[in-house]
Amino acid sequence: MGSLSNQDQAECREKAEYANVNWDELGFSLTKTDYMYVMTFNQDEGKFSQGTITRFGNIELCPSSGILNYGQGLFEGLKAYRKEDEGILLFRPEENALRMKMGADRMCMPSPTVEQFVDAVKKTVLANKRWVPPNGRGSLYIRPLLMGTGQNLGVKPASEYTFLVYASPVGSYNKGELNLMVEDKVHRATPGGTGGIKAVTNYSPVYKPLTQAKAKGFSDVLFLDALTGSNIEEGSACNIFILKGNVISTPAADGTILPGITRKSIMELASGFGYQVEERAIPIEEVFDAEEIFCTGTAMVVKSVASITYRGKRTEYKVGADTLAEELHATLTGIQTGVKEDKLGWTMAI
Ligand code: COI
C-alpha cells in the first residue's frame, strides 16, 4: 500500500476539520470531547432500547445505584485511528463487544448486542470526528461503560442498566522507560474471581501497590498469581510477553488474566512472523534469562520492558530499535493506521 506524499497529506488535512488540540502534547488523560452515546436497558422489553448521542457531560445517578454501591460495572477500551487520507479506522471493535458480553454474564448484567455495541462506538467516533488526531499523532480512545444504574440497597443485581460510550484523544500511555517491580504481596486476581473480565473493580485495588512502586521510581508493577505466588500474571493495565529464542510466551488467559485484544493480535502477528507462541504458566525465574520482555494493551499498544526488579534483584532487557517489540509495534500500528495492508481484516472503516 502506498503512502501519501507530504503535500497530499497536508492537502487532506486542510480539508478535514480538527479540534484545537496540541496533538504532540497528548498523554493518556481525558480531553473532553463533544458528544457521548447513552442507551438504557428496557426492563419491559428485556433489551437495550435505541440509544442516543447527547452532549458530553456529567450523568445523574441514584446514590443507591448498583455501580456506586457494589461496583456492578464493566468498561472497555478501543481506539479509532486517522488514516493518511483522513479516513477513520476502528480496530477489532467486535472483539470488545464480545468481551463485554462475556463480562456482563459474569457480573449478572444484560449486555448490548455486538451490533448495538459497534453501532454505538461508530456513532460516538463520528460525532467526535474532529477529536480523532491526525495520522501518526495519537488516536481517539473510546471508553464504553456498562453500569448497574437502578437503585438497590440490598446486595443483588441492579434493576436498571446504562450503556454509555465516551471518547478522548490520547497519545502515549507511558512515555518513559518501562521499569517493572514484581509485587509479591498484593494480588490483582484470584481463581474464580473477575481478573479475566474488565470489571471496573479490578483496577482501583492496584492503586496502592502501584503508587508505592512509583514512589520508588518504578513505572508499573508486575503481579504474581495468587495461588502459588510463583508465576507472573500481568501489569496494572497490560499483558506481558517474554521472548526466548524462537519462542514467545504469555500467561494463559484462564480466568485471572485479562484476554487483551492487543495480546491476541500480537500472538497472531508473532506466529505469522514464524515464532512459536505459547500461552502457559510462566515461573518468575524465566524472566531472569528472557532475551526480551514486552507489555501489550489497547492503551499501551506494545512496549518493551527495560527492567524487572524482583526482591531487590534487577534484570535489564534490550529496548528500542532491533527489538521484536519494536517490529511488532510497527506492524500493528501500521495496520491500525491504514499504512500497512490489513490482510487479517482487523480494521473497520467508518
Ligand atoms: C486498555 O488498554 O484499554 C486498558 O484497559 C488500560 C486502561 C485501564 C488505561
**Residues 189 and 44: beta-carbon distance below 8 Å:** no
Cα–Cα distance measured from residue 168 to residue 304, given in angstroms and rounded to the nearest whole number: 25
Which of the residues 129, 198, 303, 318 is marked catalytic?
Answer: 198
Calculate the average pLDDT of the chain.
94
Distance 188 CA to ligand 1 centre (A): 15
DSSP 149-169: -SB--SSS--S-EEEEEEEEE
Task: Quote the CA–CA distance of 156 and 293 in Å, as a whole number.
Answer: 42
> Is 123 known to be catalytic?
no
The rounded distance, in Å, linking the Cα atoms of 4 and 331 is: 18
Q: Residue 1: is its pLDDT beyond 80?
A: no
Of the candidates 139, 141, 146, the residue with the CA atom closest to the CA atom of residue 51: 146
| 68-94: average pLDDT | 96
The answer to whether residue 12 scores a pLDDT higher than 90 is no
Other beta carbons within 10 Å of 37: 25
Ligand 1 nearest-atom number relative to CA 297? 2
Phi/psi for 218 (5° steps) reads: -85, 160
The mean-pLDDT minimum among 6-10, 11-15, 45-49, 238-242 falls in 11-15
**pLDDT score for 50:** 87
Q: Give the position, in ligand 1's atom list, of the atom nearest the Cα of 236.
A: 8
Question: Which atom of ligand 1 sits closest to the CA of residue 262?
Answer: 2
Q: Say how far apart CA 216 and CA 273 lie, in whole Å.
A: 37
% of the chain residues with pLDDT over 90: 90
pLDDT digits (tens, 9 = 90+) for 23-47: 999 999 999 999 999 999 988 888 9
Strand partners, 294: 241, 304
Our answer on whether the CB atom of 306 is closer than 6 Å to any ligand 1 atom is no
- To test the pocket of ligand 1, the residue of 139, 142, 173 to mutate (highest count of ligand atoms within 8 Å of its CB) is 173
Q: Is 226 in the pocket of ligand 1 (CB under 6 A)?
A: no
Residues 6+ apart with CB under 8 A from 91: 78, 79, 80, 81, 261, 335, 336, 346, 347, 348
% of the chain at pLDDT higher than 70:
96
**Weakest mean pLDDT among 150-159, 297-306, 308-317:** 150-159
Report whether 81 contacts 348 (CB < 8 A). Answer: no
In angstroms, the Cα distances linking 68 to 43, 57, 263 are 20, 18, 30
Q: For residue 75, how far is its CA from the centre of ligand 1 (angstroms)?
A: 9
Q: 3 versus 260: which is more confidently predicted?
A: 260
Better pLDDT: 282 or 152: 282
User: How many whole angstroms separate alpha carbon 329 and alpha carbon 118?
Assistant: 25
Judged by average pLDDT, the poorest of 98-102, 152-156, 315-319 is 152-156
DSSP strand pairing (292-297 vs 47-48): unpaired
Ligand 1 atom at minimum distance from 76 CA = 3
CA–centroid distance, residue 47 to ligand 1 (Å): 28
State the pairing for strand pair 276-279/247-250. parallel
**What is the mean pLDDT of the segment spanning 301-309?**
97
Strands (E) across 224-311 are located at 239-244, 247-250, 276-279, 292-297, 301-304, 307-310
CB distance 144 to ligand 1 below 6 Å: no
The residue count for the chain:
350
- 235 alpha carbon – ligand 1 mean position (Å): 11
Query: Quick one: which of 326, 79, 104 has its CA closest to 197?
Result: 104
Count CB neighbours of 7 within 10 A: 8
The cell numbers describing 26, all together, are 497528548
Task: With CA atoms as reference, report the closest residue to 173 among 81, 83, 320, 302.
Answer: 302
ipTM: 0.94
pLDDT value of residue 42: 80
Question: pTM value?
Answer: 0.93
Q: Is the CB of 88 under 6 A from ligand 1?
A: no
d(CA 181, CA 217) in angstroms, rounded, equals 9
Ligand 1 centroid – CA 43 distance (Å) = 31
In angstroms, what is the span from residue 297 Cα to ligand 1's centroid?
Answer: 6
H-helix segments, the chain: 6-15, 66-70, 93-106, 114-127, 207-215, 261-272, 324-336
Whether 128 is in the pocket of ligand 1, judged by its Cβ within 6 Å, is: no
Chain Cα centroid distance, residue 127:
22
